[in-house]
Amino acid sequence: MKLLRYGPRGQEKPGILDADGTIRDLSGVIGDLAGDVLTRLPDLATLVTSTLPVVTGNPRLGACVAGTGKFICIGLNYADHAAESGHQVPPEPVIFMKATSAICGPNDPILIPRTSVKTDWEVELGVVIGRPAKYVTEAQALSHVAGYCVINDVSERAFQNERAGQWTKGKSCDNFGQTGPWLVTPDEVPDPQKLSMWLTVNGDKMQNGSTKTMVYGVAHLISYLSQFFTLHPGDIISTGTPPGVGMGMKPQRFLKAGEVVELGIEGLGTQKQLCVQD
């Protein structure tokens, strides 16, 4: 299934994409794609989507999951990206948090902060937790996944690397976490380590990679994280980016107002964002 949320920001309703690519309204079936509903997603597979109301027009898409308690990001999880960033492959996953207030819809604009000079892009595979996970093994890990999605882990590199403290302030600005368009259930993603991914700026290809080159795969990450804290339904794990970010280019290249970023992951849909000065 390809599940989604549509409507004005803060007023999104749940929906499902039918076989013809038409959005169908799910608000008469579930309250939202959040909390315990994510645990029961397999029950929705029995729905006859043709009987659900059609959503007309071209509605705004919101983030494909609501009620996220933790937005967990994995740094330097592709060896070639670590190299372009001037780092060694980490001996364990590098974990940092992105503020949940950064989460927005897949086509919402990238807001360049007022004092930003190094706003950058990162296409990433997002993993949404569907069942609580604590001390799970790698063999158990994928059974805790509600679905997968595309994430743009937008980053301000000067805030991240050149200011005192940790990475959080360079990762958590408003609209620095485009999520969606769809939450794609695991039955449609038989192997999350075999997905091609790409990103362009103004039509120029910047990133062209695959999840097969991750240092630490999805199952390992879920198991690893669950040793430190419980993963709850709605939590998002953003699993790292392949090479091709602006920070790694020579000369470096960063986003400016008016530029357009497009990105996608095989089977998970695409995003398109206009860069806007905040």
Domains present along the chain, CATH in parentheses: 63-277 (3.90.850.10)
In the chain, % of residues over pLDDT 90 = 93
Q: What DSSP string describes the chain? A: -EEEEESSTT--EEEEE-TTS-EEE-TTT-S-SSTHHHHTGGGGGG--GGGSPB--S-PPB--S----S-EEEEES-BHHHHHHTT-PPPSS-EEEE--GGGEE-TTSPEEE-TT-S-EE--EEEEEEE-S-BSS--HHHHGGGEEEEEEEEE-EEHHHHHSSSS-SHHHH-STT-EEE-S-EE-GGG-S-TTS-EEEEEETTEEEEEEEGGGBSS-HHHHHHHHHTTS-B-TT-EEE----S--GGGSSS-----TT-EEEEEETTTEEEEEEEEE-
pLDDT at 90: 86
User: Residue 240 — pLDDT band, cuts 50, 70, 90?
Assistant: very high
Distances (CA, A) of 214 to 25, 125, 202, 271: 36, 10, 27, 22
Report pLDDT digits (tens) over 205-234. Answer: 999 999 999 999 999 999 999 999 999 999
pLDDT at 1: 96
Would you say residue 86 has pLDDT above 80?
Answer: no
pLDDT at 82: 73
Report pLDDT digits (tens) over 6-16. Answer: 999 999 999 99
| Mean of per-residue pLDDT scores for the chain | 96
pLDDT at 166: 83
Would you say residue 181 has pLDDT above 80?
Answer: yes
pLDDT at 87: 75
Would you say residue 235 has pLDDT above 80?
Answer: yes
